[in-house]
Structure 1
Amino acid sequence: MSADDWFRKDRLPHIFCAGCGNGTIINCTLSAVDSLGWKIDDTVFVSGIGCSSRAPGYIATDSLHTTHGRALPFATGVKMAKPDFHVVVFTGDGDLSAIGGNHFIHACRRNIDITVICMNNQIYGMTGGQGSPCTPTGAYSTTTPYGMDEMPFDLCELATAAGANFVARWTSYHVKELTQAITAGLQKPGLSFIEVLVQCPTNYGRRNKLRDVQSMISSMRDHALLKEKRDRLLAEGKSVPSDTFVVGILTDKNRPALGVKR
């Protein structure tokens, strides 16, 4: 098999906006899945509601396109009923951290043996460009026309604090590193959480002077700070630039996992 064999080609072309980075995340995920020799009949993709949540519709496995924010409870049910199955969740920052926030922290607390991939475009992309819990302070959206005045969630810190075994963050620019992180997460017992900062030129970019796709990708590249460099700065007593976000494998531990067949 190859990664192409995992696509439902009859569902193409996709409905994502021109310049959307979600397709890149799907490609990275399927490359990782295929490299591990997983089988289509033993793999399930689960999603909630939103742009990112349309992803399983293009994949040849069985899938669940569930209600808003509820992908993790459905995925938990699948894993508990079929512990031999590989269960992967596609979600977005609004779906995961707003209406789905309580499910997120408890899935991490239970350390259920699934992989959660969050396509974080920092906005509600599908329903009109409203601000989400991950919209940066000062950013513009349809519900924050004067700029967001609240602090955003750090989803990776939240996942780590709640008990996830594996936590990583990359962007849609870092294709090689992202694929490697997803591959590692898929193999890790317990809950693996991979956050991917991804461009949304239609609803985030055009309101924040980043409508050009290359501008958004370049901005993510230029503001990403490797965890190793962040740690080195702190060890040297230097300050971490306030306009950066940390990328890399942020958590890798071995708490007992729920849903692992023993």
Structure 2
Amino acid sequence: MENLSAKYGETLNLDKLTSYCPGCGHGIVTRLVAEAIENLGIMKRTVAIVGIGCGGFSHHYMDIDAIEATHGRSPSFAIGYKMTRPDNIVFTYAGDGDTCAIGLGDLLHAANKGMPVTTVMVNNSVFGMTGGQMSPTSLHGQVTTTTTKGRDTARQGYPLLVPEMMQHMPGVKYLARETVATPKDIRKAKKSIQKAFECQVKGLGYAFVEVIVPCPTGLKKNVRDSYQWCAEHATAYFKPQVFKDETEQDNVA
């Protein structure tokens, strides 16, 4: 979104300007968010509230302002920012561990409040940054560093279906789950992420997009196999769909 070579000098190697692991789904989602901001012409008045984890690096690759929130508190930070600067566009970007483990209470109260805020939750089914531990969205039978024999729902409970928890909240105006497992899926995810920002631009209410992505490092698979696992297993439980879309109604702000 900016001329990084000019900013940092001709010696900058853009091919290595990322902290994401090879094949990480965060790279795709970060690009889709950046494209939505640029397409809507809102870059100068947009601020990212990022969580703790791999998603916390996303704002490094966008020429926008950002606030790094404490663990799980991105939605609350976003509400506070939006209340003081209502004309600006504010969005949260964090993983499943940050958003729906320690941050689940903050997320649901922010969604229920219904303020024009956009949330992107990148669900890779593990705590990626801290070593691949089980997260609230790890699948039944999924091997992680803390479930070495696979997640047992009788002991650890079921993977959380976060959008389903929000779909009857009247303040939530756009609600979707997408994935980046295939090129076709990426195009759908791009559309949903842009609509989530349009929802805020129109002042309609809260918008939430969960994006199912692979974590090759956490899954201990090569890139190709991790995307295949995402397409065949993760999306069988976390079914991509648009739960609610009220972006076409008149501005009610």
Q: TM-score w.r.t. structure 1 length?
A: 0.81
Matched residues in 2 for 1:146 and 1:46: separation? 36
2:86 aligned partner: 83
For residues 40-92 of structure 1, give each alpha carbon's deviation from its aligned partner in whole angstroms, at most 9, with x where no partner exists. 32110111101112211222111001110011111111111011001111011
Alignment partner of 1:200 is 2:215: yes
Matched residues in 1 for 2:238 and 2:136: separation? 16
1:107 aligned partner: 110
Change (3 A) 1:6 1:80: farther
Alignment of 1:54-65 (within 5 A): 54-65=57-68
Alignment partner of 1:50 is 2:43: no
Change (3 A) 1:127 1:213: same
Contact kept in structure 2, 1:7 and 1:58, CA below 8 Å:
no
1:166 aligned partner: 174
Change (3 A) 1:75 1:261: farther
Alignment partner of 1:126 is 2:133: no
Once superposed, what is the RMSD of the aligned Cα atoms?
2.4
Matched letter for residue 35 of structure 2: S
Alignment partner of 1:68 is 2:78: no
Matched residues in 1 for 2:116 and 2:131: separation? 34
Change (3 A) 1:100 1:224: closer
Alignment partner of 1:220 is 2:243: no
2:41 aligned partner: 37
What displacement does 1:115 show? Answer: 0.8
1:231 aligned partner: none
Contact kept in structure 2, 1:88 and 1:114, CA below 8 Å:
yes
Percent sequence identity over matched residues? 32
Change (3 A) 1:161 1:15: same
What displacement does 1:96 show? Answer: 0.5
Matched letter for residue 240 of structure 2: V
What displacement does 1:249 show? Answer: 1.2
Change (3 A) 1:6 1:218: farther
Matched residues in 2 for 1:68 and 1:160: separation? 25
Contact kept in structure 2, 1:45 and 1:61, CA below 8 Å:
yes
Q: How many pairs align?
A: 232
Match of 2:190 among 153, 163, 179: 179
Change (3 A) 1:261 1:248: closer
Contact kept in structure 1, 2:56 and 2:93, CA below 8 Å:
yes
Contact kept in structure 1, 2:212 and 2:234, CA below 8 Å:
no
1:246 aligned partner: 239
What displacement does 1:247 show? Answer: 1.2
For residues 140-168 of structure 1, give each alpha carbon's deviation from its aligned partner in whole angstroms, at most 9, with x where no partner exists. 11111121112110011022244522111
Matched residues in 2 for 1:80 and 1:37: separation? 22
Match of 1:28 among 25, 32, 42: 32
For residues 95-122 of structure 1, give each alpha carbon's deviation from its aligned partner in whole angstroms, at most 9, with x where no partner exists. 0001101001101110121110011010
Matched residues in 2 for 1:197 and 1:99: separation? 19
Q: Secondary structure at the match of 2:2?
A: helix
Q: Secondary structure at the match of 1:246?
A: coil
1:228 aligned partner: none
Matched residues in 2 for 1:46 and 1:223: separation? 30
For residues 9-45 of structure 1, give each alpha carbon's deviation from its aligned partner in whole angstroms, at most 9, with x where no partner exists. 759611111111101001111111111121x321101
Change (3 A) 1:158 1:57: same
Q: Which runs of 5+ in 2 are unaligned?
A: none
Matched letter for residue 227 of structure 2: I
